Copies of this chain bind each other. A is one copy, B any other.
Amino acid sequence: MHDPGALTREQLGFVGGRLDRVDHIRTRPDLAAQTFALPETRIVALDGLDPVTADGHLVMEAAAPGARAEDHVLLGLDDLQRPIFARLAERVEGGFFPTERSRAIATELPAHEIALYGTARSLVHWHARHRFCSVCGSPTQAEKAGWSRRCDACSSEHFPRVDPVAIMLAEHDGRVLLGRQHRWPERFYSALAGFIEPGETIEEAVAREIKEEAGVTVHSVRYVMSQPWPFPSSLMVACIGVAGDDALTLDETEIEHAFWCDADGVRAALANEPGAPFIAPPPMAVARHLLKHWLDGQLVPPGPSA
Contact yes or no, B198 A228, CB < 8 A = yes
By beta carbon, the residue of chain B nearest A135 is: B129
A226-269 near B? 1/0 per residue, CB < 8 Å:
11101001010100000000000001010000000000000000
Asked whether A200 lies within 8 Å of B17 as measured between CB atoms, the reply is yes
Q: Is the CB of A130 within 8 A of B134?
A: yes
Given contacts A227-B201, A230-B198, contact A131 B138 (CB under 8 A): no
Considering the chains assembled together, what is the distance between the CA atoms of A179 and B23 in angstroms?
18
Asked if A14 lies at the interface with its beta carbon under 8 angstroms from chain B, I say yes
A160 to B200 Cα, complex, angstroms: 13
Complex contact A137–B137 (CB within 8 A): yes
User: Nearest residue in B to A119 (C-beta to C-beta)?
Assistant: B199
* A203 sits at the interface (CB 8 A): yes
**Which residues in B have their C-beta under 8 angstroms from that of A225?**
201
Query: Nearest chain B CB to A21's CB is how many angstroms away?
Result: 6
> Which of A52-60, A161-169, A182-190, A294-302 has 4 or more CB atoms under 8 Å from chain B?
A161-169
Q: A138-B137, A203-B226, A212-B23 are in contact. Are A198 and B160 (CB under 8 A)?
A: yes
Contact, CB under 8 Å: A201 / B226: yes
Q: Given A115-B199, A164-B164, decide whether A208 and B21 contact each other with a Cβ distance below 8 A.
A: yes
Chain A interface (Cβ < 8 Å from any Cβ of B): 14-15, 17, 21, 23-24, 27, 115-116, 118-120, 122-123, 126, 129-140, 147, 156, 158-164, 195-204, 208, 212, 223, 225-228, 230, 233, 235, 237, 251, 253
- Provide 9 A-B residue pairs closer than 8 Å at the C-beta atoms, listed in order of the A residue: A118-B198, A119-B197, A126-B198, A130-B135, A132-B135, A133-B134, A162-B196, A198-B228, A203-B226
